[in-house]
Amino acid sequence: MQLNWGIIGPGDIVRRHVAPAMSRVAGHRIAAVMRRNAAEAEAFAREFGAPRWYSDADALLNDPEVNAVFIGTPPASHAGMTLRAAAAGKHVLCEKPLACSAAEARAMIDGCRRHSVRLMVCHYQRYNARHRRLRSWVKDGVLGRIVSARIVFASYSPPVPGQWRRQPEISGGGPLMDLGSHCLDMLQYLCGPVERSEAVLGYREGQSVEDEATLLLRFRSGAHGTVSTYWTARVPEGTAASVELWGTEGSAAASPLQSKDSSGALVLHRPGGVEDHSLGPGPAIHDAVIEDFRTAIETGGPVLAPPEDALAGLEIIDRAYGR
């Protein structure tokens, strides 16, 4: 089966990672591009060899050749765009966060199921070879019983006038929504479902979204976890995006989280010594993301990053925001 992609909202991440994957992986091609600015849509389409471009989303969704869409628009539009795509019979791969609330995510999942199309969220960090090895260590008991998990995802991002990420009606929230959605997905992938959560949020004066967020989690397994996301901290390189697992038989740490080719540090600590499992650059992770999606559509099988896990993360974020 070939996926003829329609890209809605081709921003920087799409240009650098998603569109190149669609252009080089067998079984995928970019059939159409949509951006409100018609000239920018045309330029992007020509850059990646797409035969058609649109300035209206419904025009792309009505394109009979397009059978799957990538939604790369800001979060507030994800739910509505996904429901329109599902009604048009298109499979949907959606940028994170899946939605701005758990209620929106439920509607997206239900709508895609109702129209018999697949929905997946682009939580690409699950496809990182280091993170998959971490998961195998957990599953195989290499670390023993997991006692605690800690994940940090921080950047120094002072306010910029007009920045949509600081407008909650567009972004859905601050770093907890932007970065924390990745963190919660990764910890669920490694440690399983979360049964309890508490949150502490910090707001910079005059800002309508939080700049600092810390979550305390209890997993169904009994393990504890913490999530730390910041836009205000100058965190040392190597620790600004990292995950640590501490178990009864050993511990492990990986960084950076956001590597797009699996490269980075991975260290295993056990009573017998320290093992370095760090990796150099490997295949582009987004190649595996889109191929997993295509295979799931073709076979009816599961995806590595199901929307139900994203929904569970949004339920935690909803509680943190008091809604």
Among the listed residues 80, 74, 87, 63, the one whose alpha carbon sits nearest the alpha carbon of residue 9: 74
> CB 222: neighbour CB atoms within 10 A?
10
Residue with tokens 């019979």: 89
The pLDDT of residue 235 is above 90: no
pLDDT in tens, 73-95: 999 999 999 999 999 999 999 99
User: Hey, what domains does the chain have and what are their CATH numbers?
Assistant: 3-121 (3.40.50.720), 126-282 (3.30.360.10)
What does the DSSP 8-state code read for residue 141? T
Ramachandran class of 146: left when φ > 0, alpha when ψ lies in -120 to 50, beta otherwise: beta
- Measure the CA dihedral 232/238/239/241, to 10°: 70
**Which of the four pLDDT bands, split at 50, 70 and 90, describes residue 180?**
very high
Cα(181)–Cα(177) distance, rounded to whole angstroms?
5
Q: Give the pLDDT mean for 206-217.
A: 94
The pLDDT of residue 284 is above 70: yes
Query: What pLDDT, on the 0 to 100 scale, is given for residue 218?
Result: 98
**Which of the four pLDDT bands, split at 50, 70 and 90, describes residue 238?**
low
The pLDDT of residue 239 is above 90: no
Per DSSP, the residues of 49-118 read T-SEEESSHHHHHT-TT--EEEE-S-GGGHHHHHHHHHHTT-EEEEPSSS-SSHHHHHHHHHHHHHTT--
Whether this model's pTM surpasses 0.85:
yes
pLDDT in tens, 294-311: 999 999 999 999 999 999
User: Are 57 and 71 contacting, i.e. CB atoms less than 8 angstroms apart?
Assistant: no
Query: What pLDDT, on the 0 to 100 scale, is given for residue 157?
Result: 86
Q: Give the pLDDT mean for 52-66.
A: 98
Query: What pLDDT, on the 0 to 100 scale, is given for residue 160?
Result: 85
Beta-bridge partner residues of 3:
28
Percent of the chain clearing pLDDT 90 (strictly above) = 93
User: Are 146 and 246 contacting, i.e. CB atoms less than 8 angstroms apart?
Assistant: yes
Q: Give the pLDDT mean for 236-247.
A: 86
Query: What pLDDT, on the 0 to 100 scale, is given for residue 319?
Result: 98
Q: Give the pLDDT mean for 128-138.
A: 98
The pLDDT of residue 230 is above 70: yes
User: Are 133 and 106 contacting, i.e. CB atoms less than 8 angstroms apart?
Assistant: no
Cα(291)–Cα(128) distance, rounded to whole angstroms?
14
The pLDDT of residue 323 is above 90: no
The pLDDT of residue 156 is above 90: no
